[in-house]
Structure 1
Amino acid sequence: MTQVNRYLKDKPMDHIDHALGRPVDPRAETYRNYFYVIGDTDLRRFMASSPHWQSAGKTNEGEYFSVTNEGRAALADHLKAIGDKHRRWIVHHAGYQTEVVATSRGQARYFYWLDISDINDSLTFGAFQRSSKVRAA
């Protein structure tokens, strides 16, 4: 999981974040990169004139936009400026390691335990804590 559940108060940055799939690192390759705008709106005109967006095709109803490298860099700078704490962590347990996105080491451990506790309902969080390790990715 390399995406983040977040909302940014800065609407233009939130649109870029949304278009990229809310990635931990907007400069890295993302699983998506598009934003569709219907109609001849202020948003469509803004995106068409912004260096953060490029047209990715038009339809009869609207236009697709993709985020430029400059837009990715602007989002990365914005996330740093607002102190976004989401990052990648590697959780080791029972011979496996998994990447988890969280705001802290403890949260990463807990999120991974939530994922695997469905499979092993006898594994308590306390036992998992003692048998797992977490490191920054």
Structure 2
Amino acid sequence: MTATPTDWIEHRRAGDRELLGWLRLEDDGAVAIDRLGRTASGVLPWDEAEAVLDERGIGWLADLWELELDGRPVRVRLREVSTERVVVTYDDHGDVHTKVDAIELPFPAPATLRPFGGDRHVLDPLR
């Protein structure tokens, strides 16, 4: 089980208290860290680092992603994001009848997982 570093301070959305990420004190400010455990800002004043996470929210986690597998990017969707692991599945293009395998990644998520950079309207014929 992976735990967040002890110097990360949770930042939650006002209202429903959903976890948006963490803040890490550095120098005379704070660094925003997103839900994937990745740095989302440079050193900023505390309130500005909070604003980075507030503006990002969590909706971006539902976007289309790509994962580098065997030297080529494949379309994936995030299925689980926790401080223990990040689980992705191949993008099933909304087909509820498709069985998709889960791929477990460590937390923080590796750099091989990134926002999808291709044309989201073109199906990947190689998958």
Using the size of structure 2 for normalisation, the TM-score is: 0.26
Using the size of structure 1 for normalisation, the TM-score is: 0.25
Between Structure 1 and Structure 2, the one with more helix by share is 1
Between Structure 1 and Structure 2, the one with more strand by share is 2
